[in-house]
Chains A and B, each alone.
Chain A
Amino acid sequence: MYRYSEFDHEFLAERNAQFRAQVERRIDGSLTEDEFKPLRLMNGLYLQLHAYMLRVAIPYGTLNSAQMRQLALLAEKWDKGYGHFTTRQNIQYNWPKLSDVPDMLDALAEVGMHAIQTSGNTIRNVTADHFAGAAADEVADPRPYAELLRQWSTDHPEFQFMPRKFKIAITGAENDRAVIKAHDIGLQLVERDGVLGARVIVGGGLGRTPMIGKELSEFVAFDDLLAYLEATVSVWNQIGRRDNKYKARIKITVHENGIDTIRAKVNERFLQVRPQFKGADMNLLEEIKGHFAPPTFREGSVASFESTYTNDPVFRSWVDTNIAPHKNADHAIVTISIKKHGATPGDATAEQMRVMADLAEEFAYDELRISHEQNVILPHVHKSDLPAIHAKLKEHELATANIGLISDIIACPGMDYCALATARSIPVAQEIATRFEDMKLEHDIGHLKIKISGCINACGHHHVGHIGILGLDRAGVENYQITLGGDATETATIGDRTGPGFAYDEIVPAVERIVDTYLDQREGAEETFLQTYRRVGMAPFKAALYPEARANAA
């Protein structure tokens, strides 16, 4: 867990004081909205459909219990008692008043948090594998490097007015849980001849023009990585398109110039930039690593876990679904579902946040993570504590056993909150979850990821959902396009569109037909939706979705 230095505290205090004065000048009329807007956006404050929205960064998704409690305090004191965890490991408050925001930012600073660069054409919150430091399959914990990137990118003078926003994701494992191939830069830690470094992926992204990232370098040693990244962002900052917002992201620059040209330019720039990095960054990285030293995992019998697992079917179901293997065999990674059937994906009440903070403090070495899938993780839990954790979660509607299942849906805020949205996403997610819960089908269906976006900007990652849903405005009516076969992991794939979209009241039945088709087509319960889709292709799903087209063709 990174601990702020004196410098960090002072920097944040000064920045918050500046913003407080800017808010005062806006309210007293000295600043126009045109003047104020870029200033508020630099501090994570948006104006949405019904109210302001404050987006707070949770760097690489890591929190301690004090920070989680402070997020609960903000929700209770200045919002409507809840917060929304997002696909970028941020938390959003949907109802702050402009005059309260400076106090909210000061409260965040008390626990080393902020909203800087959660908006604007800057390097945004660096996201990471939510199992970092705990996963059995990782080469190294990516978070020290993510923290180094946060410090490097925060207020970086060259990177404050870029062609567009820039998103970096990092993972320490081959199994990609951080969607690195759909980021402007994706980093995968790898070790070569005993040297730690990263494979660098560039030019991935979703939105209007979805692209899977391409390999810029198969290995850059840590010593050179920051210089290499600075060179990469710098090249794009120079040649990235500023004439057209929709062509400004680095994915278009890579696509238009070709990866080989970009690589050559980056290498050239790297040689210029490299001498400026004289090792201070590596000294800092060493220091940061100390902050992320793994806890001393406690030892003890796991017999109580095993007996509860055998005797309590509800507990067993939760363990089978929500628990992932930990690098320490007596420990487990707990994913707390923030997707109770029928609830808004990613919304947690202040009370729930406090419960999770308490559990982290008592049982999980004081650590929590937020996943891009809008759930909360206790990364290190001794297995003997799982029954107590499960019991506590049950009391607070946090024990839903649905991780990776059809109701574990990613959904953006959509037109219920977002000023950019073209259709709603939350009610679609709620109805799908409730529908399949009613039929008690979701455990039988198995691993299936539905991702819903309420506009083409794809905050809900619909392109990489096994079933992706995109809400559009078609002639003044909400209309939902479906894609199938998307994949957000190391085998990243953009989904294929099924055909014409569906009206609001037709979208849930359409999803049902897709799932029925899968259940009908699969070669046994072991074959997942994605495997079946890859084997049988689009045709049977299309036939189920558009029977009239088949009838007409016959």
Chain B
Amino acid sequence: MARAFTPKIVTANDLLDGDVIYLTEDDRWSRDLSEAELITDEAHAQVRLLDAARQASKIVGAYLADAIAGENGPEPTHFREDFRRTGPSNYAHGKQETSPQPRA
């Protein structure tokens, strides 16, 4: 039996600085997970992943990551994605030093 589909977000790294980014519903890349499009349909998820993969000159390594709906948008279900959206724990670097800016 196929595993039941769990909600996903499309995430990748920015081509120029490598920062973690998320695909939004209105086709932007955001540095903030809460702005990501939470995808609940499997076929739609595949379409969105293809949309992302076509933007090779902007992003690197798009994939679908598990997420759940939270009060302020999607939340990670796994600690790896939690670290990706936060930054390293030994210094307040990366996302912790600049407030996430939406990208065109």
Contacts and interface: CB of A to CB of B under 8 A. Distances in A.
Interface of B is mostly: loop
B94 interface: yes
Contacts of B83: 49, 415-416, 424
A50 B84 contact: yes
B20 interface: yes
A343 to B, nearest CB: 8
A428 to B, nearest CB: 11
Interface stretch (A91-99, A175-183, A356-364, A389-397): A91-99
A98 B17 contact: yes
Contacts of B102: none
A476 B78 contact: yes
A416 B90 contact: yes
Q: Which of B18, B61, B87, B95 has the most C-beta atoms of chain A within 10 angstroms of its own C-beta?
A: B18
A27 B91 CA distance: 29
Chain A interface size, as a band, is: 20 to 34
Given A476-B77, A476-B79, A50 B16 contact: no
Nearest to A26: B15
Nearest to B95: A50
Interface stretch (A28-36, A195-203, A521-529): A28-36
Q: Which of B79, B88, B93, B94 has the most C-beta atoms of chain A within 10 angstroms of its own C-beta?
A: B88
A51 B20 CA distance: 8
Contacts of A415: 79-80, 83
A278 to B, nearest CB: 47
A29 B94 CA distance: 25
Interface string B8-28: 000001011111100000000
Nearest to A478: B79
A50 B88 contact: yes
Contacts of B20: 49-50
A477 interface: yes
A344 B88 CA distance: 12
Contacts of A29: 56-57
Nearest to B88: A416
Nearest to A413: B88
Given A50-B20, A478-B79, A32 B56 contact: yes
A417 interface: yes
Contacts of B16: 27, 97-99
Contacts of A95: 93-94
Contacts of A98: 15-18
Given A33-B60, A417-B88, A51 B80 contact: no
B53 to A, nearest CB: 10
Nearest to B20: A50
Interface string B33-50: 000000000000000000
B18 to A, nearest CB: 4
A49 B83 CA distance: 9
Nearest to B66: A476
Contacts of B87: 50
A427 interface: yes
A430 interface: yes
Given A47-B13, A97-B17, A27 B89 contact: no
Given A29-B57, A32-B56, A415-B83, A51 B18 contact: yes
A426 interface: yes
A121 B79 CA distance: 30
Contacts of B18: 47-48, 50-52, 97-98
Contact of B90 (A32, A51, A344): A344
Interface string A95-114: 10111000000000000000
Contacts of A50: 18-20, 84, 87-88, 93-95
A477 B61 CA distance: 24
A98 B89 CA distance: 23
Interface string B60-92: 110000000000000001111001100111110
Contacts of B94: 50-51, 95
Contact of B19 (A51, A417, A424): A51
Nearest to B94: A50
Contacts of B57: 27-29
A478 B78 CA distance: 10
Contact of A47 (B60, B77, B79): B60
Interface string A37-51: 000000000011111
Given A344-B90, A473-B79, 16 more contacts: A26-B15, A27-B57, A32-B56, A33-B56, A51-B94, A52-B18, A97-B16, A98-B16, A98-B17, A98-B18, A347-B90, A415-B80, A417-B88, A426-B89, A426-B90, A473-B80
User: What 4 pairs across the A-B complex have the smallest Cβ distances?
Assistant: A29-B57, A416-B88, A51-B18, A52-B18
23 contacts: A29-B57, A32-B56, A47-B18, A47-B60, A47-B61, A50-B88, A50-B94, A51-B17, A52-B18, A80-B91, A94-B88, A97-B18, A98-B16, A98-B17, A99-B16, A344-B90, A416-B88, A424-B89, A426-B88, A430-B90, A476-B79, A477-B79, A478-B79
